Structure 1
């Protein structure tokens, strides 16, 4: 087990930021840590990195509760980006490598290799202050790779990146996993999590509300029965367990049903009533939909 949290709690005075959170990350996994802004994600990651002490519970990293022992095996990208604006890109990457114990010459060589690998070699001698926001963020990410960490913890890594750079970052995370790295990243943007994660942990108001795969989340999500028709399906109410009809627009209707209603019997009843059935079945749900349900998110929170 790379990371394990058991009943972790963090209080600041009377305010509880994280409450009794437990989850684990196994070797080779990509795990998404999801929740609205202010849900407790960053506080939890700071406890994992021993930046903040836990109030209760325990955390083990690579099997040890002494988190300092494992920190050199971790690459941590904090939510707050911090680069020396007057320093050159290649020197920045090498500097962070040296902080993780990589000898100076090897750190410089590794920095140049990373820049070349990710198509950034033309910026090697550029000062950070001359780079675009996206390129500066990529330099910061490369800075956590210099010491070849086994475990990457990325706090809101997609924040501030345009769609092209977001796709490049997704590709980078995939390639690192293929090379054996384990990744835990926090986000409130569901599209990235849906494309990248093996599993995800979702928190709301500092408490865990779900842990599992996307398929497991979909199974737990109550999916509506959708009928697409150009007719008025209200005659279905009272037939085969249909208790109500909700218009959704574009000839789509959500059918409310009683417990145990048989979807095939409902379809048969619709056809018997002469209703033109264009489409019929349980709705497809995305992680975005599940996030709304479980985390109580608003549209603004996922923008």
Structure 2
């Protein structure tokens, strides 16, 4: 049974249609990416999902039940707009947030310390929030989102402010939660993270769903017509008539998009070898999620 089911939901603010006829479902143990340019309706959809706003039409179901506020006890939400108390001691803040979620102070402290150790921020617990870096504050918010062990985890731009090391730590934690059966929805502009982590995605553009499905289903719709190549020597082989697009990145690195639905990349490789070019990497692949995203939203500059 789906953890989340949105059925043809619609939301209008004054004369602006924020979301139009959105239908999607998220299953337990699924990592789901909600994507779209800025202003496309992602945050509006999330807010309707958890009752911050109410759809003008359509229905929202959580845990196979019509939405009611009691179900939010099983939901953890990390909004894009962060909300920590700057002057408050970090551990006290975590305990306070845990109590708001129905935990005792003792249990909230126990879980908070365990999460702090897991996320490698134990030294921050006695400090005030304003003394911490943006990335450290992001980890604190992550803890307050998860402290009550929710079954549905919703995160809006969860990787914002994190360096690569802490981004990888957050990624590993989310994957562990997914493998434990939690349903996880996150919205982000980091297409690389979505492509690596998500089982399924939905792309919204101007309030409407333009693409939905599992990563495998979506990738199978597209041809393997991209070539990444790393080489030394003559680059004239890149001027191939079968290349629809060529990107030269310098230092002997290039990528090409070949014409046709199922093109043969071997003549390109053979031409490079014939010209005496040394090929150290030659990979034929399907388009990246970022390329699919740009195609579906028409190259919007707001993404």
TM range (shorter): 0.7 to 0.9
Larger radius of gyration: 1
Alpha-carbon distance in 2 for matches of 1:252, 1:138: 36
Q: Which residue is equivalent to 2:212?
A: 211
For the pair 1:53 / 2:38, whether they are aligned, the reply is: no
TM-score by length of 1: 0.83
Q: Which residue is equivalent to 1:38?
A: 39
2:259 to 252, 256, 261: 256
What SS is found at the alignment partner of 1:168?
helix
From the superposition, tell whether residues 169 and 296 of structure 1 become closer, same or farther in structure 2 (CA, over 3 Å).
farther
Contact 2:40 2:204 in 1 (8 A): yes
In the TM superposition, what whole-angstrom CA distance separates every residue of 1:15-46 from its partner, at most 9, and x where no partner exists? Answer: 00111111000111111111112111111101
1:289 to 264, 288, 291: 291
After superposition, residues 23-102 of structure 1 pair within 5 angstroms as 23-102=24-103
From the superposition, tell whether residues 247 and 106 of structure 1 become closer, same or farther in structure 2 (CA, over 3 Å).
closer
From the superposition, tell whether residues 226 and 2 of structure 1 become closer, same or farther in structure 2 (CA, over 3 Å).
closer
What SS is found at the alignment partner of 1:144?
helix
Q: Which residue is equivalent to 1:239?
A: none
Shift of 1:109: 1.9
Q: Which residue is equivalent to 1:151?
A: 152
After superposition, residues 167-186 of structure 1 pair within 5 angstroms as 167-186=168-187
From the superposition, tell whether residues 177 and 245 of structure 1 become closer, same or farther in structure 2 (CA, over 3 Å).
closer
From the superposition, tell whether residues 104 and 14 of structure 1 become closer, same or farther in structure 2 (CA, over 3 Å).
same
From the superposition, tell whether residues 159 and 232 of structure 1 become closer, same or farther in structure 2 (CA, over 3 Å).
closer
Shift of 1:13: 1.3
Contact 1:73 1:151 in 2 (8 A): yes
Alpha-carbon distance in 1 for matches of 2:138, 2:88: 14
From the superposition, tell whether residues 296 and 159 of structure 1 become closer, same or farther in structure 2 (CA, over 3 Å).
farther
Alpha-carbon distance in 1 for matches of 2:156, 2:49: 12
Q: Which residue is equivalent to 1:119?
A: 120
From the superposition, tell whether residues 88 and 281 of structure 1 become closer, same or farther in structure 2 (CA, over 3 Å).
closer
Q: Which residue is equivalent to 1:192?
A: 193
Shift of 1:295: 2.5
Shift of 1:298: 5.0
Stretches of structure 1 that go unaligned for 5 or more consecutive residues are 237-241
From the superposition, tell whether residues 116 and 13 of structure 1 become closer, same or farther in structure 2 (CA, over 3 Å).
same
Shift of 1:158: 1.1
From the superposition, tell whether residues 180 and 215 of structure 1 become closer, same or farther in structure 2 (CA, over 3 Å).
closer
Stretches of structure 2 that go unaligned for 5 or more consecutive residues are 230-234
RMSD (Å), alpha carbons: 3.1
Shift of 1:151: 1.1
Contact 1:48 1:67 in 2 (8 A): no
In the TM superposition, what whole-angstrom CA distance separates every residue of 1:179-217 from its partner, at most 9, and x where no partner exists? Answer: 332211111110110111111111111111111122222
From the superposition, tell whether residues 294 and 112 of structure 1 become closer, same or farther in structure 2 (CA, over 3 Å).
same
Shift of 1:143: 0.5
Alpha-carbon distance in 1 for matches of 2:197, 2:124: 28
Shift of 1:287: 1.0
Contact 2:226 2:286 in 1 (8 A): no
Tell me which moved more, 202-211 or 276-285: 276-285
What SS is found at the alignment partner of 2:23?
strand
TM-score by length of 2: 0.83
Tell me which moved more, 108-117 or 45-54: 108-117
